[in-house]
Amino acid sequence: MPLDPQAQVIIDLINASGFGDVTAMTPDGVREQMRGMTASDESASVDRVEDLTIPGPAGDIPARLYARDADAPLPMLVWYHGGGWVIGDLETHDGICRDLANTIGCVVVSVEYRLAPEHQFPAAVDDAFAALRWVADHAGELGGDPARLAVGGDSAGGHLAAVTAIAARDADVQLVFQLLVYPAVEYEFERPSMIENAEGYMLTRDAMQWFYGHYLNDPSEGDDWRVTPTRAESLAGLPPAFVVTAEFDPLRDQGVAYADALAMAGNTVTATTYDGMFHGFFSMGAMVDRAKVAVDDAAVLVRDAFAI
C-alpha cells in the first residue's frame, strides 16, 4: 500500500527540510537538528519525572525516570533511545517515554548511553547493560518491582534492547519482556527493504552506512553478536518479544528476520509490520493515528507480561 496520508505529510516536510541527508553533516550537526525536530513535549503529564545518574563502566550515565503515583511497586521498563548510536538523548525521546509510562502504567527509565564517534562500539552496549543491572539492583528505591522488569527501545535503541536481553539471560538478570521497535539488528545493506526504501522515507540506506561508519571501529565488528544478535551462540531462553516494523523502512526485513529467529529458538514473539508507516513513526502519535495504534498494541502486550 502507499504511504499513509498522515505519514506522507510528515515525510514531505522532512524531505523538504533536508533532514534525511545526515551524510552531508557532522555528528554534532545532526544532533542539533534532531533536537530541534523532536523538542521535548511535556504536555503528556506524568506524576513523577526524575533525572538520575547511573554508575557506568566509563563514568556516570544520565537517565530519567517516569512514573505515576502508586501505592505498590510498579513494573519497570528500561528504555534505550534511537539515533544510530550517534544521535539522540533523553530530550529527543522524552515524549515517547511519557506516553509509555502513562499507557502501560509502569516506571520507565530512559538511558542516555554514550554516543559514537566519541565512544565507539561496544560503549553503548556496555552502558545499556550496566544501566539495566543497576535498575534491577535498585528497583525498590525507584518505586519499581524487580520481578517485573522489561527492556525496550527504538531503532539503535531496539538493537540495544535486543542485545541487552541476551546479556541479561547470560548474567541471570531476569526479564519478562523485550519491546523492539524497528530495531537495527543486522549489519547489512542488501535485504529487499534496504534497497526498496533506500531513500525518501527519512531513514536512508546511506544514512545507515554513515551511522555504522561512526559507530564501529571496523566493519568486521558487524559479525559480533553484540552488533548482529543473530550471531549469538543461542537465542533460546529469551523473554517474550514484540517486534515492531514499518512498511517503508530500510530496517523492515532485518526486524522481521530477527523476530523469526527468536521464534525459531523457541521464544514467544509477536511481530507486526505497520502498513503505510516509515522509520520513526512510533513516537509520532500526536500526528499519526497509526502510531497511537502501535503504542497501544505495545502497551497491551507489555501489560500482559507485567500481569497488570
For the annotated catalytic residues, the residue numbers are 155, 249, 279
**The dihedral sign for the CA sequence 71, 72, 75, 76:** positive
Among 209, 202, 217, which residue's Cα sits nearest to residue 280?
A: 202
**Amino acid residing at 308:** I
Q: How would you classify the pairing of strands 144-154 and 74-80?
A: parallel
Q: Are 148 and 176 in contact (CB under 8 A)?
A: yes
Among 300, 265, 287, which residue's Cα sits nearest to residue 11?
A: 287
Q: Are 185 and 245 in contact (CB under 8 A)?
A: no
- Helix axis angle, 289-306 relative to 5-17, nearest 10°? 110
Strand, helix or coil for residue 307 = coil
What's the burial of 107, exposed, middle or buried (CB within 10 Å: 0-12/13-18/19+)? buried
Strand, helix or coil for residue 302 = helix
Among 57, 80, 235, 85, which residue's Cα sits nearest to residue 150?
A: 80
Alpha carbon separation from 273 to 29, 51, 200, 251, 292 (Å, rounded): 31, 34, 19, 11, 14
Strand, helix or coil for residue 202 = coil
Edge-to-edge strands, sheet with 144-154: 48-56, 59-67, 107-111, 74-80, 144-154, 177-181, 241-248, 269-278
Strand, helix or coil for residue 120 = coil
